[in-house]
Structure 1
Amino acid sequence: EQDRSIRVSLAAHCDGTVVGYLMARADLGDIGRTAPVAVIDTLGVDPSYAHRGVGHTLMAQLFDNLGALRVETVETAVPLANTTLLGFLLACGLRNSPRLAFRRAV
């Protein structure tokens, strides 16, 4: 079966040093979904660059790139206890989803 996803990797640099990164994938049709959706897998900012707009800049670039791919929805999973990340994602315009994640050890 053909992989219908596109990997997106972004890095923020300051004076030649990586100070932030974002990795996502755009699924252009997946099991149970017909509309393209992007999933943020990893987002990180060097703590010494926190609260300087690095994360917001990465997210804005991701949204621009996804718009060019005609992806209209972005999803991610966040531990409920990570209130800092939850607040950041809310500030970036993401909202709670009606979907629930389930897990089972094997």
Structure 2
Amino acid sequence: MAAKWAQKTIILPPHKRGCHLITSQVMKEIQSDLATFKCGLAHLFLQHTSASLTINENYDSDVLDDVETFLNDTVPEGRKARWKHVLEGPDDMPAHIKSSMFGCSVT
């Protein structure tokens, strides 16, 4: 039996800074492809250097709030932060670091 695979580029609408659930948006985009498979893997890759992907529970919205609080406490921005890369604004370097912490892909 030949291996089957599908590849799709998904363009998500812009989101303000923070943690966001994108499950329903991704599922909407791949729903028609899912019908052709009995089992498999999905690999999501984000082509952006100041955003990241992570898998968390979404039953309790406090989880996203707590993750965001942790990230903002761990990777500060503004005048007190001592980042050298500030050409694109005070929030740019913290976004790159946060992206590096979680990564830009999930499987």
Smaller-chain TM-score bracket: 0.3 to 0.5
TM-score by length of 1: 0.33
Whichever structure has more strand as a proportion of its residues is 1
Higher relative contact order (Cα pairs below 8 Å, separated by 6+ residues): 2
Whichever structure has more helix as a proportion of its residues is 2
TM-score by length of 2: 0.32
Structure label with greater radius of gyration = 2
